Every structure is written in structure tokens, then in C-alpha cells.
Structure 1
């Protein structure tokens, strides 16, 4: 008997900021699972900034979604039927089959997750999932974090940035400074997450705000924003500074390519290292990352905040709000 699913598809390629008209929700009939396949009832799905890039045509590190294709992303679900020897019925699984309520998948397309009463399933999409590993890999490997470093995080109230700052603090940073988009987020960073200082980037030139927050300069920059934040960090770096370049959300909706930093010459004079990265290249760090972060979560030293929306119909508004900075911490949609 066919399986009925509700799925969100790409209806049009956005020009600039996406709108609800760029998406459509459809009802489809999927066949019963074949040998080696499972049926997964999704419990929660992730919306992430990188998804904006997949709406565009052209080459990138991840293939573009085609018009009429059901979009993808991280999802946690429960196996409701299995024709697999590897994935039993009832298993909690992680997949890339977000943007739908039910998925029929090859068993190779899901990872069985450990279950614990003190680990909410949504954490596998955030602090214990891709954003958490992104924060860990970027800070520890790409930026070569060392105890005593003074660290600047752009987009520090988001899913990745809020963890980068906490990982740095818990690992012995000299200071941790973050940028965010509202006074409420700034207060959250300093009052609850333990950032040494934070500023609202709307309050003036980022370079001036950063210089006021950390007059002695920085050793490490973790960038989620790009643009004026990257330019400010180049100016604030001490010699031998290291940057992990994770994202550039300030330019994701740009119709024309935004200008690059005007002070790139400082990279030479200060002997800086700027390293871009994709988290999928660093899966080998996952055991180390999960062990350390689970310990911090259970001890209460690490805060994992989520902005939660409910229902598949909330997925598109949640994604659009994410691009507009409406989230604090990880944005997830429960299904």
C-alpha cells in the first residue's frame, strides 16, 4: 500500500531574499519499502543558512536543488517500518530527509542514534549535530585554538556561533567577544553564555565596536557573517592570527557580489591564516566532539538554546525568519 507524504519542494529560484512563493507543499504517494529500506516518521527537522545557497543554480560545494525537487536537510525520526537487517523498527535515526513528514529511505541513508532520557531528540540537529561539529572543527582544527587566545565570533547568537564562544570559554580562552543583531541577543551572550563582551552590529561600524570590545586585539576569528565583520577582524588581528571562515550570511541574499574586505593586505603583514571549511570534511572529529560536549551538557557548563517552530507548515516561515536573524541558538521545526 503506498505511503502518503507531505513534502516541501523548491518552486522557484529566489532573486535576492526568498519569499513563500519560492516554495510549495505537496502530497505525494511513495511506494512501500523495498528490501534494504525503511520508513521514517520525522520528529524534527533543521533549517540552516547553507540551504539558501542550494536554492541557487550553479556549482557549489553542495548540489543545487532543482525546481520541483523536495528539499533536503537534517532530520531526526523514528523508524515505523523496516525491511533492513541493519536498522530495526523503532530505531531513532538521523537522515538528510528534512522538509517532509514521512520518508522512505535506503538503510544506508540513515544513522541510528543513541537514546538517552536527558538528550532531547532536537539536540542531534544542533549542539550534538552538524552545527555543534561545525563549531568544534572550525575552532579547534581550522583556527588551531590555544588556551589563552582572545576570540571573536561573528553571528555569535546563532546555532554555530553560540557554541563556538562557549567551547572557547570552556577550553580556556583569554576572552571571547561576539557580535549579534539585537540588544536581547547581546545580553544573552554575556549574561547567560559567559562571553566576555558582545555588541550589536547595528550600533555603529563593526571595526569600531570590535576595537572597543577588545582593545588589545584578537588571536582567533570564527566567521559566520563575512563582509564588514571579516574586514573588522583583519584590522583587529594580532600577528599570526587565525580565522576559521564558516559562512558569510551577510551576502547570501545579495543580487550582486558584495565587495570584499578592503584591508586584505593585512593578511601578509600580520602573517595571518584564513581557512575556509566544510564540516563534512571533518567527520573524524565526531567521537572526540561528542564525548567532550556531552560531558559539558550533563555538567550544566554548556547551554544549548533552541528556537522551536511546530509543524511542517511552519518550516518555510522558520527558514525565512532564520535568514532574517529571528532565531536565538538553533532553529528547529518539530513535526
Structure 2
């Protein structure tokens, strides 16, 4: 067992609104010995996702709430340091639901071994080949069931999942329309990703009418990442027998009050709409199939994606809050510093925590377009 400090972001109390340093704290804690069936992983990359905010609350979700005093839960990718599980050996790369920490101890049964091909970066398995790419793939194709000539509307379309949903819709012969929060994001969707149209919901005075204008033949598939007022507007533009893929509701994750509506939910009946939620984990046995297809599309230049990689475990909190400010560009990932871990450098990085700002996070950011 390495005699190294393990820095961990610990949930101190349930957040009210945006998460702050009063809610989570960066600590050093010793590593405990491995038990039979467990694996010790040195994390290289941490996935920063909106769902983490929900897990910090006590609202019922598809995973239990993070206990107070426990590490902030997230998907991570790293190298096996020590293994007491027959499927893993030192040096293997593994992905699992672990936490914001330098090292993770996890059951080998809950980890997935990954092997990047030549020219592929490790973190692809947290983005395009991970939950992001697979959520877009299975959510649209299995739940949305798009048919050639149909219109697919996507909220949070410039986000990691939404941007891929629109591109896959285009590959399936559909009209793809995205909803995003800035003119720059809308231009990116249309000019670079090939969306047929994009709507800036921040500047739209009547979102329902803006959707109707961008979707003159109505909406057949609505891929919802937002909920709230955007969902309400979309409900009024659906065609008969439309499908709504309920992927997320980021608009309400920081709300401390009951979220009203959707006021237009009756459209589900009026238009005989199918609304389905899904978890990408339900398709675990089909992950190789999806990765193979996404890898082929990527190699053929048919899809592209963005990663926003921020260096430093100390930047996890500020990077996370970019999600709720609409300030991120692509899949958010925090890259840890293997050199620091290898050298056993001790001590918490206090200064960045006390003075962290969005500018500091962006200074540590590497934006990558694939």
C-alpha cells in the first residue's frame, strides 16, 4: 500500500443552491488496507457531471445520497496500483464510480477495464466512450427511436451529451435543432456540428414560438437535459406520437423550492406522447457495441466532440459550478497530477481553495475538440 497522502473532497453538509466551500472540504486521509476483491486505483481523471449535485441532496435518485462525511461521488479513470481481485493487475486502466480523490479503493466487480487504441487519450472513456457518448447513443436510438425525416429537438444542445445527440440524429437522417444559452454556442452547433438550427433561450422572448419557427413541421423527438420552462415550451410543439427522452433536469438541481409544472404536461395525453427516462447503466452489456459504433463514426469524421480538461484536484468545486453557470465548453473533466502523486508531495493546496475563481479555473483549462 503506497504511503502517500490521499486528498479527498468530503461532503460536509447538504448544499443550498450552488455548492460552496462550506458544503465540501478538501482533506487528507490515510489509505486503509485492501480487502479481498478490492482494487486500489490512482485516479488520473475525474468526471464532472450535473448528477453529482443531485447526489449531494437528500432527494430520491437512481443512486443513494452521498452520506455526510463521505467523499464526493463521481466517475473516475485511473491506473491500478494494487489488486486483490483476479480480473485486475497493477498497471491496468479502470473506470468506475468512485470519487473526487487522488486514490480510490473500489470493488473490482464494480470497475470496468478499458484499453485505449493507438492515438486515443485515456479520458475518452469518461467522455466520448464513457457515460457521455453512451448516454447520447442509447438515449436517442433506443428511447427516441428517430426515423429519417423526423425532427429531433435537443435542450442543453451545446453540452457534452446534447451535442452528440444532435449529430447522431443527423446521421440517422433527421432534422436536428438545438437549444443553447449563447450565440457562440448556437453558431458552434450549426456551423461546426451540422445542426439544422439552434435557438438561444437566453435571448428568446417567446421560446415556444422560437421552437415552432425552427421546427416548422413540429417536433417528433425531444431529448430533454434541462426540464423546467424549456420542457414546458417544448411540450407545446410536439407532434402526435412524439417521444420525449428524459435525460436530465439541470434547471432544478440547485432549487431549494418545489419546481412547479410542467404546466403543459397535459400535452402528453393530447398528443399521445411517449415520455421515458433511462439510465445508461441499463445497457451495460451493450457498451462494447456502442463504443465500436461511436469509434467508427469518430474515425470517419462523422461526429466530433469537445472536452474541457481542468488541471488540479483543488479545482473540482469551481469546475463543477461551471455546469450551472453555462460556462463550460464540452465535457468537463478534472485531470489529476500523476507527478505529484508519484513524488509523494505532502500538504493540502490551501491557496487555490481560498482564492479560486472562474478565471483561475479557466487558466488551468485545456479545451480539446476531436
TM-score (norm 1): 0.95
Residues of 2 paired with 1:178 and 1:185: CA distance? 10
CA-based RMSD of the aligned residues comes to 1.5
Residues of 1 paired with 2:16 and 2:188: CA distance? 34
TM-superposition CA deviations, 1:177-216 (whole Å, max 9, x none): 0011111111111111110000110112221221121122
Assess if the C-alpha contact under 8 Å between 1:92 and 1:115 holds in 2: no
Assess if the C-alpha contact under 8 Å between 1:137 and 1:285 holds in 2: no
Matches within 5 A, 1:255-294: 255-294=256-295
Matches within 5 A, 1:88-103: 88-103=89-104
Q: Does residue 1:20 correspond to 2:21, yes or no?
A: yes
Residues of 2 paired with 1:267 and 1:58: CA distance? 25
Assess if the C-alpha contact under 8 Å between 1:9 and 1:23 holds in 2: yes
Unpaired runs of at least 5, structure 1: none
Structure 1 residue 110: Cα displacement: 2.0
TM-superposition CA deviations, 1:71-108 (whole Å, max 9, x none): 11111101123343321111111121230011233322
Structure 2 SS opposite 1:21: coil
Identify the range of structure 1 (143-152 vs 184-193) with the bigger mean alpha-carbon deviation. Answer: 143-152
Assess if the C-alpha contact under 8 Å between 2:19 and 2:317 holds in 1: no
Structure 1 residue 48: Cα displacement: 0.4
Assess if the C-alpha contact under 8 Å between 1:33 and 1:39 holds in 2: yes
Structure 1 residue 159: Cα displacement: 1.2
Structure 1 residue 23: Cα displacement: 0.9
Unpaired runs of at least 5, structure 2: 337-370
Q: Give 1:120's aligned residue.
A: 121
TM-score (norm 2): 0.86
Matches within 5 A, 1:1-335: 2-173=3-174, 175-204=175-204, 205-335=206-336
Residues of 2 paired with 1:188 and 1:147: CA distance? 24
Deviating beyond 6 angstroms after TM superposition, the runs of 4 or more aligned structure 1 residues are none
Q: How many correspondences in the alignment?
A: 334
